[in-house]
Amino acid sequence: MTVSAQVSLYPLGNLDIGPPIEAAIAGFRRHPVTVWEGPMSTVLAGELDSVLAAVRDAFVAAAETGEAVMVVTLSNGCPLPPA
């Protein structure tokens, strides 16, 4: 099943939020999913198992830099961003 996920990461207690967000993006990109980076969230699209694995790896990577909250919305019917 093909799905999309909108993901928002909120690093906690970090004055510099760049490293946790960059770590999360790298975690997404280790998987066969399409990634659209936005100013407030990132959208992924691909097969369900790949999207879920990418979200997991991104959260682990971000959490290794400090505390974080990740909000994920999954859909099998939402339109994707323009290419």
Please report whether residue 81 resides in a domain: no
Is residue 83 very low, low, confident or very high in pLDDT (cuts 50, 70, 90)? low
Q: What is the extent of the structural domain holding 36?
A: 2-75
Please report whether residue 21 resides in a domain: yes
Q: At residue 13, does pLDDT exceed 80?
A: yes
Is residue 82 very low, low, confident or very high in pLDDT (cuts 50, 70, 90)? confident
**Residue of 45, 47, 26, 27 lying closest to 35 (CA atoms):** 45
pLDDT digits (tens, 9 = 90+) for 28-56: 999 999 999 999 999 999 999 999 999 99
What pTM value is reported for the model?
A: 0.91
Q: In what order do the strands lie in the sheet with 2-11?
A: 34-37, 42-47, 2-11, 68-75
Q: What is the CATH number of the domain that holds 67?
A: 3.30.70.930
- Count structural domains, the chain: 1
